[in-house]
Amino acid sequence: MNAVIETTNLTRRFGDKTAVDGLTLTVNGGEVFGLLGHNGAGKTTTVRLLNGVLNPSAGSARVLGFDPVQQGEDLRKRTGVLTETPSLYEGLNARQNLSVFANLYDVPRDQVKRRVDDMLTRFRLADRAAEKVGGFSKGMKQRLALARAFLHQPDILFLDEPTAALDPIASKDVNDLILQVSREEGKTVILATHNLHEAQRLCDRVAVLEMGRIVALGTPKELAHQTHKSLTVEIEVAAGEVTHAQSVIGGGVAGDTLMLTDVAYSRIPAYIEQLVSAGIKVYRVEPHEPTLEEVYFAIQKRGE
């Protein structure tokens, strides 16, 4: 796989506080990569380091082959960033805001109008495009800032809490768009979020940061298997065979379903094999995977 972001021991201190502490990380092209962690864990600082708007105190990063410290300007033409507190030109209207940005970021002149219109429609701002941004609601500003991040079709999108201020429909729009650009267009998305449901739905991998350090890294499923070694499994068998099934592998009965509790994930195939060997027809096996929220709390607890 092709790495688009590689950091080695990336570190940033503010006075005697270490915001990002020896981060060594690889992100592959086309991944949606989640940055999770409590307030102050170092998510935003990491995003700023990776875009070259902040220099590291130690360590280094390569992003799309660029060194963010030396080549920040070139790099930022190929990344789209939604910052925590986006600054927009409040005295200009929405369309003008995007046009100014398009020119700044080298969108070819003959494409500016089409791209701007496209983004205004996509983020449901077309009917407010001629209004001054100073009069926009918080969520409308957020949508405009997102439109700006996507405008120049960047290869990597850094989205710092993109849906924090958005209503449910706008949030879903943004989530769908994230999946679309990653799955269909091969873009990489770095998503810093406190919304664990969103992270579970969108992220291929997540890193959990704590005081600037990675305390967990992997797919949501991998992390779940680390924190929740045993789980409940539902096994549905053919009508009339459930008692037989129970005599083979134990568990509780509910209708045609056997409920096994405290099962190690790795034991599931062996149970199925035992049932099949006993001539029992298995229709459905459903492990109750913990949610990312449950996994997150388990990781935090592990750290205490």
Ligand X SMILES: Nc1ncnc2c1ncn2[C@@H]1O[C@H](COP(=O)(O)OP(=O)(O)OP(=O)(O)O)[C@@H](O)[C@H]1O
Size of the site for ligand X (CB under 6 A): 11
Residue in 29, 40, 59, 139 binding ligand X, rule: CB under 6 A: 40
C-alpha 236/C-alpha 253 separation (Å) is 10
C-alpha 110/C-alpha 66 separation (Å) is 28
When CB distances are held under 5 to 8 angstroms depending on the partner's kind, the choice from ligand X, Mg ion, none that residue 39 binds is ligand X
Asked if 14 touches ligand X (CB under 6 A), the answer is yes
Between residues 25 and 94, which has the closer beta carbon with respect to Mg ion? 25
Where does residue 107 fall: left (phi above 0), alpha (psi -120 to 50 degrees), or beta otherwise?
beta
Q: Considering the complex, what minimum distance in angstroms separates the CB of residue 45 from ligand X?
A: 3
Asked if 80 touches ligand X (CB under 6 A), the answer is no
Asked if 195 touches ligand X (CB under 6 A), the answer is no
Between residues 245 and 292, which has the closer beta carbon with respect to ligand X? 292
Asked if 7 touches Mg ion (CB under 5 A), the answer is no
When CB distances are held under 5 to 8 angstroms depending on the partner's kind, the choice from Mg ion, ligand X, none that residue 81 binds is none
Between residues 45 and 97, which has the closer beta carbon with respect to Mg ion? 45
Backbone angles phi, psi at 296, to 5 degrees: -60, -45
Residue in 4, 10, 19, 235 binding ligand X, rule: CB under 6 A: 19
Between residues 101 and 296, which has the closer beta carbon with respect to ligand X? 296
Residue in 27, 30, 31, 42 binding ligand X, rule: CB under 6 A: 42
Stretch that binds ligand X, among 21-29, 32-40, 227-235, 253-261 (CB under 6 A): 32-40
Asked if 45 touches ligand X (CB under 6 A), the answer is yes
The candidate with the shortest Cα–Cα distance to 233, out of 268, 282, 196, is 268
Stretch that binds ligand X, among 42-50, 221-229, 243-251, 276-284 (CB under 6 A): 42-50
Residues between 28 and 47 with contacts to Mg ion, criterion CB under 5 A = 43-44
Q: Considering the complex, what minimum distance in angstroms separates the CB of residue 142 from ligand X?
A: 15
Q: Considering the complex, what minimum distance in angstroms separates the CB of residue 44 from Mg ion?
A: 3
Binding site for Mg ion (CB under 5 A): 43-44
Footprint on this chain of ligand X (rule: CB under 6 A): 14, 17, 19, 37, 39-45
